[in-house]
Each structure stands twice: as structure tokens, then as C-alpha cells.
Structure 1
Amino acid sequence: MDTHIPVTADGTAGYFTYARERAAQLRRAAQARLCVLDARMRTLAEEPEEGAATAEYAVVLVAATGFAALLVTLLKSSTVKTLLTNIVKQALTIA
């Protein structure tokens, strides 16, 4: 049976040294992968909030534009013009 035994610098068999080095390598690799995963999760968590805020602003702008158009239409009607004119005339005659 041909088994590879790692050897330390002083020439002795280094099972524990090899195991320690291998564990350190695995730890570094796992930490690097976890950092990438953390960055991905943070990116995914941030994007929907920004998009939701943009969508909310768009809905508010559309609603405000619709309300403004409704007010302009109402104020241009002859009934509202007459009503406002009568209010102004009454205010001027009292003063």
C-alpha cells in the first residue's frame, strides 16, 4: 500500500501539521465564499427597496397629475366660473 505521509521541515511525519494547514486552507476558502455570498445577499436586499421607492414616486406623480387635470377641467367649466364670480362680487359688495 502506497500512502503519502507529509513530512515537516525537521524530517518527522507531520500528520497534525498537514491537518492544521489543510484546515486553515479550508477555513480561508469558506470565508472567501461566505464574503461573496454576503455581498450577493446585501445586493439583492437593497435593489427591491430602491425600485419600490421609485415606483411609489411614480404612482404619486401620476395621481397628482390626474388631480391637477381634474381641477383644471372643473375650474374651466361655466358653472364654477359663475359660482366663483358671485363669491367675489359678494365679498366686494360687503367691503
Structure 2
Amino acid sequence: MSDVIPINVDGQPGLFLHARRTIADLVECGRRELCLIDARWRTLAAEPEEGAATAEYAVVLIAATSFAAVLIAIVKSDGIKTLLTSIVKKALNAG
């Protein structure tokens, strides 16, 4: 051990004093850590994380891509092309 053990006035090593100080330091460190953990839990409880998690983002992205693919398929169909073309022609003739 490299720790220096203090010597009492009568020349006897203060082993119990040293042990008591070490235990007090450990207790203080433990209290500090518990306080930090408690603060973190209270923060998480008061302000839960907002927004979707990564898996939820993936599901939303897949749904949006699927919806876009369906819309593109509908717009590319012959009936919709004819309808949109006639609407544009009427708008240009009206102006």
C-alpha cells in the first residue's frame, strides 16, 4: 500500500483514524452519486424524451415512401394523365 498512515501523538499509528476517514470519503462519494442519479431520474420523469425513436422513424419513413409510391403510380395512370391534361388545357384557355 502506498497510502501514508498518520501517526498519533503517542507514536501509535492512527489506523482507525485512517479507516474512519476512508469510510467517510466513500460514504460522501456514494451520497453524491445517489444525488446525481436521483436528479437524472427526476429530469427524465419530468421531461420525457419527445419524438420518435429510431425504430419509429424507420416505420414512418417506410410508410411515407409507400404512400409516395402509390401516389406516383396513380398519377402515372392513363385516366389521371388525361384528367390533369384537360384541367391544364382549360386553365390555359381561360386565361
**Fold equivalence (TM over 0.5):** yes
The CA deviation string for residues 24-57 of structure 1, in whole angstroms up to 9 with x for no partner, is 211323426964x95xx88xx8xxx6xx532232
The answer for the alignment partner of 2:19 in structure 1 is 22
Instruction: State TM-score, norm by structure 2.
Output: 0.55
Distance in 1 (alpha carbons) for counterparts of 2:8 and 2:25 = 23
State the one-letter code of the partner of 1:9: N
- Aligned alpha-carbon RMSD (Å): 3.8
Shift of the alpha carbon at 1:12? 7.3
Distance in 2 (alpha carbons) for counterparts of 1:69 and 1:11 = 89
Query: Are 1:75 and 2:72 matched, yes or no?
Result: no
Number of aligned positions between the proteins: 77
State the one-letter code of the partner of 2:20: A
Structure number, greater radius of gyration? 1
Distance in 1 (alpha carbons) for counterparts of 2:69 and 2:25 = 62
- Structure number having the greater helix percentage: 1
Distance in 1 (alpha carbons) for counterparts of 2:32 and 2:59 = 38
Distance in 1 (alpha carbons) for counterparts of 2:21 and 2:67 = 65
Distance in 2 (alpha carbons) for counterparts of 1:59 and 1:11 = 75
Structure 1, unaligned stretches of length 5 or more? 1-7
Structure 2, unaligned stretches of length 5 or more? 1-6
Q: Percent identity?
A: 42
Instruction: State TM-score, norm by structure 1.
Output: 0.55
The answer for the alignment partner of 2:3 in structure 1 is none
The answer for the alignment partner of 1:57 in structure 2 is 57
